[in-house]
Amino acid sequence: MSPDDDRNAAILRRTLSAISWLYALWSGLLGTMAMALRRSAEPAVDPRYILLHAALLGLAGVMQWKPRRGAILCTAIAAAGSIAFVILDLRRQNLQAALIDGSYVVVAAVLLYISRRQT
């Protein structure tokens, strides 16, 4: 693998890391808002699941920043969590939320494939 390929793979991994952190931040904000509103109304999803998913996304971002053992597994688990939320969103007939949750899966799969195919 040439130095340029190494640099490009590192850029793609760090891009995925930043995207994971953004999704983690967004999910964490939604989870804390749902936790605050839990007393006034019955939420569709337990806010602890949303916060757990935010933590998984954050962990995937940390693991992808510098290649660590288990980074792909953490990213796959975070993507599986996003798929679970896509299913919940579709059952509630909320297509917009399903598209947002599902976009992480697509972006993560594409960036992981492109960054790993040279190795």
20: Cβ–Cβ under 8 A, 6 or more apart, which residues?
57, 58, 60, 61, 64, 75, 78, 104, 108
- Residue 25's domain comprises 3-116
CA distance 24 to 109: 17
Q: Considering Cα of 87, then 92, then 98, then 101, what sign does the dihedral take?
A: negative
Domain count, the chain: 1
Reported pTM: 0.87
pLDDT tens, the chain, 119 aa long: 677 778 888 888 899 999 999 999 999 998 888 888 877 666 667 888 999 999 999 999 999 888 788 888 999 999 999 999 999 999 999 999 999 999 999 999 999 898 877 55
- Residues 83-115 have pLDDT tens digits of 999 999 999 999 999 999 999 999 999 998 988
**Rounded Cα distance, 102 and 51, in Å:** 17
C-alpha to C-alpha distance for 16 and 105, rounded to whole angstroms? 11
